[in-house]
Amino acid sequence: MGTTNKILCVSYRAAANWTSYEERLLFRIYGSNTSKIIDRQKEFDNWRYLASCGCAAQLYARFTNGIVSGFIPGNTLTVSNVRDKLIITKICKTLAKMHKLKPNTGSALQPVLFAKISQYLEVSSGHYQVSFVFTKKFLQTLKKAHSG
């Protein structure tokens, strides 16, 4: 197993309406064997939907082993800035906006957290020493915490 993606950012200066601005595109190249744990079609469909709702960058191209998207400027969250009331408010508003979305997937929406964790542990067990006890305890603890 490798990384899930390699991301390359390409920048260029464009001119429009007598002004100059910098445009950035992200080239996301999928990591080796990541399709074993990530459904790339679902990822693509979800991304397109989120972009149409203003919750993700626009997609420009798709190729066999990756995608090209726009770039949304921002900063990485840190322990200190995630405690800032302005940042917390922005995070909460964005999460609320996303939770209000009603995607038309053609099937009932279901949580996939535990299925994905199980899938990841199954795939990674051939590459890493994953203790059966840890795997069982980990999933049981997560399910218990999730259910209340």
For 101-127, the pLDDT digits (tens) are 988 766 667 777 777 877 877 777 666
Q: What is the DSSP letter of 3?
A: -
Percent of the chain with pLDDT over 70: 81
Q: CATH 3.30.200 region(s) of the chain?
A: 5-109
Helix (H) or strand (E) holding 60: strand 59-63
Position 34 scores a pLDDT of 84
Q: Give the predicted TM-score (pTM) of the model.
A: 0.72
Cα(38)–Cα(47) distance, integer angstroms: 13
Domain 5-109 classification at class level: alpha beta
Q: What is the pLDDT of residues 127-146, one digit of tens each?
A: 656 566 666 677 777 777 76
φ/ψ bin of 98: left (φ > 0), alpha (ψ from -120 to 50), beta (otherwise): alpha
